[in-house]
Amino acid sequence: MVSWRRNLYILFLVQLLSLAGFSMVIPFLPLYIKELKITTGGSIEFWAGVTFAAQAVTMMISAPFWGAIADRYGRKLMLVRASLGGAVILAAMGFVQSAEQLALLRLLQGFVTGTIPAANALIAASSPKEHTGEALGVVQTGAWVGVAIGPLIGGVIGDMFGFRESFWVTGALLALAGVAVIYWVDEDFQSVAKIDRPKMLDSFRRVLGRPHMIGLYSEAFFQSLGRTLIFPIAALFVMELMGDSPGVATVTGLTLGVRAVTGSISAVWLGRLSDRIGHGRVLVFSFAAVMLIYIPQPFVTSAWQLVVLQALTGFADGGILPAIGALMNLQVPTGYQGATYGLSASVNSAGRCLAPMMGVAFAINFGLRSVFVLAVAVYALAALLAWYLNRKVN
């Protein structure tokens, strides 16, 4: 087996373990905060928004620099750092006593972690250009599968044993991912002589100066913003739909997880399709389809309706990130993949940072259902931009 494919399949497993771990805690974070002390004041909704946004704030700042360091010292090293560092921090979250402590650890998590951009940079640098869509689709599928099973497992553990145990399981999964990278991932990295290395800011300028890159980073921002809007209010919305019925955390995990299941199914298929018919076309279709599927979601009256619609959303959403990643890789020169995907992670984090605050603000002022209406507007803007970029790229 050629080395890039061997790495690809191992990184599929690494992403599955990492994202399963990270996403295990997503369904019940608001419920976990409800159990913790709030020592400085503020509502549960407020601290849910802060906790979700905290990790994105520091990742937005740190990701470009980690990416530039990866171009200098190797992408494998950055993947090990993200996995093992995340293992320690997530396990520590199981011991916090207040919402403020949890928010501080989430800030630290964003600075240390970042398995997705590290894996994307490694695969993009080692894969043939003509297989970029397929390769990034496979890595994204690993992430989607992890995101699919993580919330469901986390929800079940939260309902059966308690929320703290989920953080400890998360730490173990991330540690396994880090060990897998150390022993099984190969990187033929040739370090550039110090005198020939571009300065860090020069690397960013060169990437951003390539054609259409600003538009592609804007699409990455819209995707992250739209996807994350409902996360802080998902458990509260499911609770509203279910009333006094038990198993809210499990159903919330299912709601978020089923989207990832269908996304994992479509990511490889749509990635290969985009290699054949054009990444821009797949991007237009995916954004437009997600927008249309979101339109009925503010009007659901039961949890099963939300689960079905989120499943359809995931199938359409699966093609977005591989298409954006492939278009970026085709635009930038070899040797700049770390900076490229580091900036992409920063932009994604900016969306995840803004989304919880926007979602919580709309929920407080206009009701939980208004958050889905906001998501429709975000995906509509993204679809229009994708149509424009597709015309320019082609």
* Mean of pLDDT values over 15-30: 80
How far is 165 from 17, CA to CA, in rounded Å? 17
Of 83 and 161, which is predicted with more confidence? 83
Share of the chain above pLDDT 90, in %: 26
Cα–Cα separations (whole angstroms), residue 108 to 39, 54, 85, 92, 342: 20, 9, 10, 11, 17
* Mean of pLDDT values over 2-21: 84
Domain ranges of the chain: 3-182+210-393
Two structure tokens written together for 164 = 């703290």
* Mean of pLDDT values over 272-281: 86
Evaluate if residue 209 carries a pLDDT over 60.
Answer: yes
Q: How confident is the model at residue 126 (pLDDT cuts 50, 70, 90)?
A: confident
Q: How confident is the model at residue 1 (pLDDT cuts 50, 70, 90)?
A: low
Q: How confident is the model at residue 257 (pLDDT cuts 50, 70, 90)?
A: confident
Two structure tokens written together for 392 = 């320019």
pTM given for the model: 0.71
Two structure tokens written together for 152 = 């469901």
How far is 35 from 44, CA to CA, in rounded Å? 10
Write down the pLDDT at residue 190.
Answer: 67
How far is 45 from 47, CA to CA, in rounded Å? 6
Evaluate if residue 381 carries a pLDDT over 80.
Answer: yes
Give the range with max mean pLDDT: 230-239, 263-272, 285-294, 324-333. Answer: 285-294
Write down the pLDDT at residue 20.
Answer: 85
Of 366 and 74, which is predicted with more confidence? 366
Write down the pLDDT at residue 192.
Answer: 58
Closest CA to 137 of 265, 289, 290: 265
* Mean of pLDDT values over 192-206: 67
Write down the pLDDT at residue 333.
Answer: 75
- Who's near 232: CB < 8 A, 6+ residues apart? 29, 30, 45, 48, 49, 52, 356, 359, 360, 363
Write down the pLDDT at residue 349.
Answer: 82
How far is 76 from 186, CA to CA, in rounded Å? 8
Write down the pLDDT at residue 250.
Answer: 75
Two structure tokens written together for 85 = 């560092």
How far is 103 from 85, CA to CA, in rounded Å? 17
Write down the pLDDT at residue 285.
Answer: 94
Write down the pLDDT at residue 27.
Answer: 66
Write down the pLDDT at residue 245.
Answer: 76
Average pLDDT, the chain: 84
How far is 61 from 265, CA to CA, in rounded Å? 32
Of 248 and 81, which is predicted with more confidence? 81
Domain 3-182+210-393 is found in CATH 1.20.1250.20 = yes
Residue 392 burial by CB count (10 A; 0-12/13-18/19+): exposed, middle or buried?
exposed
How far is 18 from 87, CA to CA, in rounded Å? 9
How far is 72 from 366, CA to CA, in rounded Å? 48
Q: How confident is the model at residue 194 (pLDDT cuts 50, 70, 90)?
A: low
Give 394's Cβ-side CA count (13 Å radius): 14
* Mean of pLDDT values over 86-93: 93
Closest CA to 17 of 231, 134, 168, 175: 175
Evaluate if residue 289 carries a pLDDT over 80.
Answer: yes
